[in-house]
Amino acid sequence: MFSSWLKVTDKCEICGLDYRFASPDDGPAFFSLCVVAFALLFVIVWLQVAIGLPIGLLFIIAIPLMAVGCILPLRPIKGWLVASQFVNKAIEAGTEQLWTDMHDREDEAGNGRLDP
Ligand SMILES: [Zn+2]
């Protein structure tokens, strides 16, 4: 599904599904920040309150923890969002005609459709 860290390929190499519909935009970053960063913030605050680390050491621990903790889940979250787009047939508002035209063209060419 991915051609690089967060770049979605054009087509699935197994079933030929056209991934042009995939546009999770900033969804992965949003969910990573709201879910992971929020939880990690509690861990970092707990570290400070429970142990009382010097502020410099706290930053040395907290900054990499937040960075890695927010970057690592981006790929699985993006995969989940693209899968959700496919399952729920989510398209951008106002592009219904464009999608219909695109799918009609795909059918004429004999390529895969978005319908499961
Ligand atoms: Zn596939």
User: Ligand 1 centroid vs 22 CA: distance in angstroms?
Assistant: 13
Distance, in Å, from the CA atom of 113 to the CA atom of 50, rounded to the nearest integer, reads 55
Higher pLDDT pick, 28 / 20: 28
Mean pLDDT confidence for 87-101: 75
Query: DSSP class of residue 94?
Result: T
User: Ligand 1 centroid vs 13 CA: distance in angstroms?
Assistant: 6
User: Ligand 1 centroid vs 1 CA: distance in angstroms?
Assistant: 8
What protein residues have CB closer than 5 angstroms to ion ligand 1? 12, 14-15, 17
Q: What is the pLDDT of residue 23?
A: 84
Report pTM.
Answer: 0.73
User: Ligand 1 centroid vs 43 CA: distance in angstroms?
Assistant: 38
Contact 96, 107 (CB under 8 A): no
